Amino acid sequence: MAIFLEHAFNAVFFLLGLMHTVLTLANQRPFDLDALMYTGAGLAFIFLSFFNFARVRTKDRLTKLLSLCVNVLTLLYVVLIAVVFADPRVAIGIVALAVLVVLSAVDLRSAKPTRNS
């Protein structure tokens, strides 16, 4: 069940990031600072999903730790967005990110420490 949740939420953030990026680049004319910020948020969501997909596939503790850090920082960023932009879609993003934070924390906790040669 946890793997299904991981893949489902990772796919949601990948598609959300792709949508932010592609639609902004296709529709925003002239391309201004707001469009650049919106595109940057989309790219951040894509990179977030990359980190989480890598975390699910590896046993490397560092990857799991970095993924947890990325998830927590993105959650804080989206909470700040919610303060400025009160919208139910942002609340859904907060819940989804909170689930990813919990899943990545559980994954990190269950990872065995590795010893470097």
Residue of 27, 51, 45, 24 lying closest to 90 (CA atoms) = 45
Which two tokens mark 116?
A: 């470097």
Pair 45, 23: CB distance under 8 Å: no
Report the percentage of the chain scoring pLDDT > 70: 97
- Residue-wise pLDDT tens digits, 18-58: 999 999 989 888 889 989 988 999 999 999 999 999 999 99
Question: Does the pLDDT value for residue 117 go beyond 70?
Answer: no
- Give the separation between CA 55 and CA 65, rounded to whole angstroms: 9
pTM for the model: 0.85
Per-residue pLDDT band for 116 (boundaries 50, 70, 90) equals low
